[in-house]
Amino acid sequence: MSDKWTAADIPDQRGRVAVVTGANTGLGFATAQALAAHGATVVLAVRDADKGKAAAARIADAAPGADVRVQRLDLASLDSIRTAAGELRAAHPRIDLLINNAGVMYTPKMTTADGFEMQFGTNHLGHFALTGLLLDAVLAAPGSRVVTVSSVGHRIQAAIHFDDLQWERSYSRVGAYGQAKLANLMFTYELQRRLAVANATTIAAAAHPGFADTDLFRNMPAILRPLTPLVTRLITQPAEQGALPTLRAATDPAVLGGQYYGPDGFREGRGNPVLVQSSRQSHDPVLQHRLWTVSEELTGVGYPV
């Protein structure tokens, strides 16, 4: 595989349907824009439909003739997820790419509509529920993929706190983010195992953007906010570059199920998208299965594999 993979290497996506969560800004927008430019029908699954429509208009301006649609989706609400999944299945009986990109980072202690800790509930449980509810449509598309966006943060203070998943006893915004991003990887690996057992042509892969310049930094602790412009200038890369690992995981014909893509630079902070390794803990099959079981119980969503 080339170590200089760019958006120019994305194969023709005409005839394919891609659903991208959190696609009105940042990495999601860059991902959706690149897929649309290569011919995919792209659905921007976003919390704010008006912002989604504005993003769709920007994509259409940059890629005349692009087929871009908007679907309202609030990953912090199981009711919203069920409604959105039903509407998506009705509109698109076959989904070629499901890109679980949306996320929140370092939020103050708060909960979703269903009482889940916000980072775990949105980043992991929301995508777990959405994927399960859409999986029949994804399986109906030969060679389809589920790509979930994780983070280098899956290594920082990261563990799955099964004794206090919702951080009710104490709260660390960094630890909660690490748990959610670790869960994204464990979900990907367990989903891939189940797809392989079912002999599905669908694969599950993961990616991370390195240190990308996006609005995720808005929830940095107050003491660190004055440093944000300096950090942004010194260590981050543009969202368009940060989206490349996701785009490679979603479109490169050489990608295998269960692989993880990220930048090739120092500590995977920036650079060209390549195959990278996640933590040893993320590969623990016992923890993966336990997390999967708990996620089914919490969301009420079962899987057809």
As annotated, the active-site residues are: 177
Residue 216 C-beta-side C-alpha neighbours within 13 Å: 26
Nearest one of 207, 199, 187 to 299, comparing CA atoms: 187
